[in-house]
Amino acid sequence: MEMKSRIPALREVSFDGALVWFAEMQNQRLLFHPDDDPADIIRICDSTPFFSTHEVEEARFLLAKLDRELGHDKVIEAAYPIFMSAFGNRLDA
């Protein structure tokens, strides 16, 4: 049986594509920091893995692709406004 992944597709490998991907991850309550390994993320309530093995592989693949094409600093830069919004911090224009 094939399990459906919760990881959204990366529509384009660009800064804007990364920004949209992080926003979609946040909208689905899946956002994690790109420096963290998705395999290390657990549910606090019962200490079980948050992502399935397939989702871990998929998230790692997408982040590696973004890192290769954009550079790690740009990936972090794309994630930054999404994290600030998730924490309720409004960014100035």
Residue the block writes with tokens 């600030």: 84
What pLDDT does residue 23 have? 96
E strand map for 1-93: none
C-alpha to C-alpha distance for 29 and 22, rounded to whole angstroms: 10
What pLDDT does residue 85 have? 86
Three-class DSSP category at 25: helix
What pLDDT does residue 58 have? 97
Is the full-model pTM beyond 0.85?
yes
pLDDT in tens, the chain (93 residues): 557 899 999 999 999 999 999 999 999 999 999 999 999 999 999 999 999 999 999 999 999 999 999 999 999 999 999 998 887 777 665
